[in-house]
Structure 1
């Protein structure tokens, strides 16, 4: 900390907008909160509702119990499926056990699930661009019989992909990918398979795209960009990559202000700050407050879009 005798060093803080919670995350958290009000405690949640420990811990304090699989849940308490989506086998098992279950899958992820089923019904071979092991990818691939979907992670994967019928292909993408990286993979697929069926509308969600555009706008000339988010959050990890590609001298992923190593700021005059789609705004404010305690901060808003999207709650909670 600076002593009161020493003037604080100036720091320009560029704050990205949009940042933080998207409509799908907002809806998922509301589903847990409203379920606790409707049914009391405990309410079970399969997997982290969204990829953020601060959010999960707050909901645990309200009475939510987070589990990995349905077999950890009793039959007589409600269970909620996370925003990332689940394989079809999960709600099928919940139905077999006569459980009350609520699906908090982001509607934009559900859209990809519907596309997958449409392509499968049309006997197309399906390629999914995404990251192996991510819950959203597991959920999307789990909409169809095993072996129906081939996962492509890189441009190199496109070169080695050997479809059964190159003339009857379709591709889908995970919703939280890097827009630029995905465009390269799509271009490679289309170059190899000119007739490949494309999504009606871009699968990468509006919130991922908007947060990446805001980072591209604030990164040039920034000595450091801080992205608030979890290491398990795909969209947050992508924001770090986007910042570096867009011209930031350095970029770091932090869970909160507690993770900041202040030696990162030794020669920094301009800081960029954003938050992934599952990071709450109070964490952003925490970083701003920590910077203000140490520097003479000048705030600059870098706004690239307005977001007005909202998603309805499940009917059982809407009353």
Structure 2
């Protein structure tokens, strides 16, 4: 029988995959970081969309992704949610949900002008940062916002006082910063940053501006901090860290970076299908966590897949227990 060149290529690819899986087959320990997966703000935002769909039917429009996870977005799309980038895509008078990341006053005004029925799913911890931005700006400060350019939370917060705020992403940005009055400078941060890197930027700001004013309480949210501390508890003891989360999830990306800084290779995966068998070849101990917008069942699926590659011993490392709950807005209040 003659084999076509294309068939030979496909067969070689299959042999390569099976070869990698065979090399990855071994008993291993999985260290589960805890807390992981959904936080209170994400739970609240998803529940808001689910309740609005149940009460009002589809379509329900959502500005941007309700949270930064593709599985959550696809699940809500199947139920009738329509995610849009521009409010002009929403029919006048329709129901619109603002995402957990918050929006600027300009976006709110645009929604009002189009007579949209707005339900706000902004995380209360992001709302707190917005209020601080307005307070500092009204005090006459230059407000330095530590965050990532282009992120929806950054855009929304900067929009609260655009004439008084500047964005910095690194210590190098601090060195290049020019302000009208060095004695009137304050800072705020995106809620999903890496704690240690942010501390370095704040230190650089304090050195440049000794009168620097800080927010009344930490802006990096409890869930981001807890997931980073939980990862620290497992990364050093792991040969590989798997972080379940989407590529546009800031807090998930920070977990990958944190593990890498600690010297442990980390892979960001949307789900178990993205595990690279080559990374598992020498991994007798796998650290496993998930960003705050990743559904917990995705973590369970990863454990199941690893169990298919050899006996697995699962050990959970809990650094704290979360009991935070945020009330729903009145428009979708408790039944």
Secondary structure of 2:232's match? helix
1:168 aligned residue: 184
Map 1:105-254 → 2, pairs under 5 A: 105-144=122-161, 146-248=162-264, 250-254=265-269
Q: Distance in 2 between matches of 1:34 and 1:233?
A: 24
Shift, 1:221, TM fit: 2.7
> Could you say which residue in structure 1 is the equivalent of 2:22?
none
Please give the secondary structure, in 1, of the residue aligned with 2:308: helix
Match of 1:27?
44
Q: CA offsets, 1:283-308, max 9 Å, x none?
A: 10110000001121011101101100
Separation of aligned partners in 1, 2:213 and 2:258:
27
Q: CA separation in 1, counterparts of 2:120 and 2:329? A: 8
Within 5 Å, which residues of 2 pair with 1:57-136?
A: 57-136=74-153
Distance across 2 between alignment mates of 1:91 and 1:34:
22
TM superposition shift of 1:261: 1.4
Q: CA RMSD in A?
A: 1.3
Q: Distance in 2 between matches of 1:78 and 1:31?
A: 12
Aligned residue in 1 for 2:69: 52
Q: What CA deviation, in whole Å up to 9, does each residue of 1:8-64 have, x standing for no partner? A: 621010001000000000000001001111111100000000011100000001100
User: Using the alignment, how far apart are the partners of 2:109 and 2:200 within structure 1?
Assistant: 37
Taking structure 2 as the reference length, the TM-score comes to 0.91
The answer to whether the 8 A contact 2:244-2:271 is kept is: yes
71-80 vs 111-120, which moves further: 71-80
Structure 1 residue 94: Cα displacement: 1.6
Partner of 1:301: 316
Q: Is contact 1:215-1:274 (8 Å) kept?
A: yes
Q: CA deviation at 1:199?
A: 0.8
Partner of 1:316: 331
Whether the aligned pair in 2 keeps the contact of 1:108 and 1:205 (CA below 8 Å) is yes
Shift of 1:74: 0.6
Q: Please say if residues 142 and 186 of structure 2, whose CA atoms lie closer than 8 Å, have aligned partners that are also in contact.
A: yes
Offset at residue 143 of structure 1 (A): 1.2
The gaps in structure 2 that reach 5 residues or longer are 1-17, 20-24
Structure 1 segments of 4+ aligned residues over 4 angstroms from their partners: none
**Alpha-carbon distance in 1 for matches of 2:26, 2:71:** 31
Give the secondary-structure state (helix, strand or coil) at the position aligned to 1:286.
Answer: helix
Larger radius of gyration: 2
Out of 279, 286, 292, the position equivalent to 2:294 is 279
How many angstroms does 1:96 deviate by?
Answer: 2.2
* Offset at residue 247 of structure 1 (A): 3.7
TM-score (norm 1): 0.96
**How far does the alpha carbon of each residue in 1:97-131 deviate from its partner, in whole angstroms, 9 at most, with x for none?**
22210111100000000000001111111100001
User: How big is each residue's C-alpha offset from its partner over 1:166-216, in whole Å with a ceiling of 9 and x where there is no partner?
Assistant: 000000000000000000000110111111100111100000000000001
Contact preservation (8 Å) 1:228, 1:279? yes
